[in-house]
Amino acid sequence: MKSKLLIIFSFFIILTVSSCSDWLDVNHDPNALEEIPDAKVLLPAAEVGIANNLMGWDFGFAGAFWVEYWTQTYTASQFKSLCEYLPQGFNTAYQSLMREPMTDLKRIKTMTAEDKNRGYYFVAEALSIFTWQIITDVWGDMPYFEALRADEDILHPKQDTGEAIYADLLKRVDELLSVDLTSSYINASSDFIYKGDLDAWLRFANSLKLKLMLRLSETPKYNNAEVLNFITNHQLLLSSAKISGTVWSDDQEGKRHPMREFEAGGANYLSTNVIAAKNFIDYLSMNSDPRLSNLFSGTKGAFFGDFDSKEDSDGNGKTDDKETYAKVYFPGNMDLMLMSNWEINFYIAEVYARASQNMQAKDYYERGVRASLDQHGIRDDAILDATGYAAWKNGTVEEEIKQIAIQKWVANANYQHIESFLERNRTKYPPVNDIDIASDRSAAYINFPAGELTISVKGRALLGGNLPASPLYPDAYIFRNTNAPAQKANVGEKVWWNLKSSK
């Protein structure tokens, strides 16, 4: 019962934070401990706060639209701005992350810095590094070294480069991995993710370092031999870091998985605004992927970002705006993911592929696919058989990276949308097809490039025929910090490690 109350309390805090625009993030005093002075209470709130944002209003929806799992319906308008690549800063996610989880994690570290029991410090620092990585990967250059230091009268923290932030995050994770956890512990009841299992948290921290290292794969800083040595000498994630779907109360307002809340909480954002994008659902359907029925109710997808068509593109007698498209499906007991076991297996597979060690690459690629199937409750892995569409194929390094990335795209659907967006920015897979849907919708329908991304019909001109690469700087930062830079021109500005040539 106590755990249930904690999750409800945490969820209430997070949901109310997103509507309070005057709760300033970087100027909040993280050392004011008088409200909730116990790490055992702060930790579960921070865990839920991070996870909730990863599949919440900004990251959950934007990630799904920008990697073309979903598109906006023809009859509503809530998310047209995302599908049209219009300027937006993901302000809700930024404020929510900085105001609650990040300050709570700093409180925990402050309270436990001198404790012989290093458990709470270790977990708080691991989650802090993880969240900073998300923040800089999404927005790029941001306040970091001076952020969260209002107690030192730093009310307008200066902006730091993403490259400098990454260097420090890698330093921090190395220091964390040197912490002696002997005789340390955390209470199972105060840890929604691993129930107090510090061995699992050590694996999480190792996997976090792998993620940081591999995100730099297209930069001069990447050394695959170094990464290969790391994965062969460290224990990595076995079970996903997640908030179990068993904690939700699906029949009660404010106590659901965030996407279920958007669907069942009264606004019906999913049922009225979201339909399957043809790019993704056709790829699953044509390949008889067993995960399809767990992701959508129906099998028909719409052209991405094509809201005004009155044509009958498929020639079935109905115009596009009158078709019945597949809806998104989220069950009431949906797990809420921070870091998945499939993504780590796919990372390891990529490192081996880059080293031309095909047997190991195949092994971990297949582990990644099976981990995704397991998450969906699917035991049949026939898609990996020699005749299956997901069967491993030895090829060039780039060909192998592509097949790993495509299966990661599939696995992340409904679980890790912002991660899919970031990984697509890094690998450039799925690739972008230059098909101009609006110029000939019938031809586009017949020759549609399932499994590839298309440029939004309505947003085609805005970014010069390119995909979004990062949001604008959030309002809470750009308008309240005298050291903030000029606003980005649009959502097409790439972060520093996004260097691979392609759209």
CATH number at residue 119: 1.25.40.390
Structure tokens at 323: 């078709």
What is the rounded average pLDDT of the residues 123-133? 98
Are the CB atoms for 333 and 248 separated by under 8 Å? Answer: yes
In whole angstroms, give the CA distance from residue 421 to residue 160.
23
Q: Which of 4-13, 50-59, 127-136, 342-351 has the lowest mean pLDDT?
A: 4-13
pLDDT band at 32 (very low <50, low <70, confident <90, very high): very low
What is the rounded average pLDDT of the residues 445-461? 93
* 5/96: higher pLDDT: 96
Report the amino acid identity of residue 182.
T
pLDDT band at 21 (very low <50, low <70, confident <90, very high): very low
Q: Of 47, 56, 343, nearest to 195 (Cα)?
A: 47
For residue 22, is pLDDT > 80? no
Burial tier of 452 (Cβ tally within 10 Å: 0-12, 13-18, 19+): middle
Counted domains in the chain: 1
Per-residue pLDDT reduced to its tens digit, 151-175: 899 999 999 999 999 999 999 999 9
Output the pLDDT for position 263: 87
Provide the 8-state DSSP code for 314.
T
Residue 494 inside a domain? The answer is no
In whole angstroms, give the CA distance from residue 479 to residue 83.
25
What is the rounded average pLDDT of the residues 61-90? 95
Residue 444 inside a domain? The answer is no
Structure tokens at 364: 């971990």
Query: Cα angle vertex 161, ends 432, 167, to 5°?
Result: 95
Helix 397-412 to helix 358-375 angle, to the nearest 10 degrees? 10
In whole angstroms, give the CA distance from residue 113 to residue 412.
35
Q: 212: Cβ–Cβ under 8 A, 6 or more apart, which residues?
A: 133, 166, 169, 170, 173
What is the rounded average pLDDT of the residues 36-61? 91
Per-residue pLDDT reduced to its tens digit, 247-284: 998 888 888 999 999 888 767 888 899 999 999 999 99
Residue 489 inside a domain? The answer is no
SS (H, E, C) 239-271: CCEEECHHHCCCCCCCCCCHHHHHHHCCCCHHH
Output the pLDDT for position 14: 40
In whole angstroms, give the CA distance from residue 485 to residue 380.
52
Provide the 8-state DSSP code for 46.
H
- Provide the residue range defining the domain that includes 36: 2-249+334-433+469-478
Query: Cα angle vertex 209, ends 135, 115, to 5°?
Result: 90
Q: Of 271, 217, 286, nearest to 452 (Cα)?
A: 286
For residue 29, is pLDDT > 60? no
Q: What is the largest CA-CA distance in the chain?
A: 72
Output the pLDDT for position 151: 85
pLDDT band at 27 (very low <50, low <70, confident <90, very high): very low
Relative to beta strand 453-454, strand 432-433 is parallel
Output the pLDDT for position 266: 65
Report the amino acid identity of residue 466.
N
Structure tokens at 236: 């990595």
Structure tokens at 318: 């109905």
Q: Of 485, 499, 503, 492, nearest to 141 (Cα)?
A: 485
Output the pLDDT for position 480: 93
Q: Of 344, 409, 371, 407, nearest to 210 (Cα)?
A: 344
pLDDT band at 125 (very low <50, low <70, confident <90, very high): very high
Q: 185: Cβ–Cβ under 8 A, 6 or more apart, which residues?
A: 117, 119, 196, 198
| In the block, residue with structure tokens 């796919």 | 346
In whole angstroms, give the CA distance from residue 101 to residue 328.
29
Residue 454 inside a domain? The answer is no
For residue 11, is pLDDT > 80? no
For residue 18, is pLDDT > 60? no
Residue 162 inside a domain? The answer is yes
SS3 311: coil
Mean pLDDT of the chain: 91
For residue 485, is pLDDT > 70? yes
Residue 297 inside a domain? The answer is no
Residue 218 inside a domain? The answer is yes
Q: 472: Cβ–Cβ under 8 A, 6 or more apart, which residues?
A: 87, 88, 89, 478, 487, 488, 490, 491
Residue 441 inside a domain? The answer is no
For residue 23, is pLDDT > 80? no
What is the rounded average pLDDT of the residues 372-394? 98
Helices (H), 265-396: 269-273, 278-286, 292-295, 341-354, 358-375
SS3 327: strand
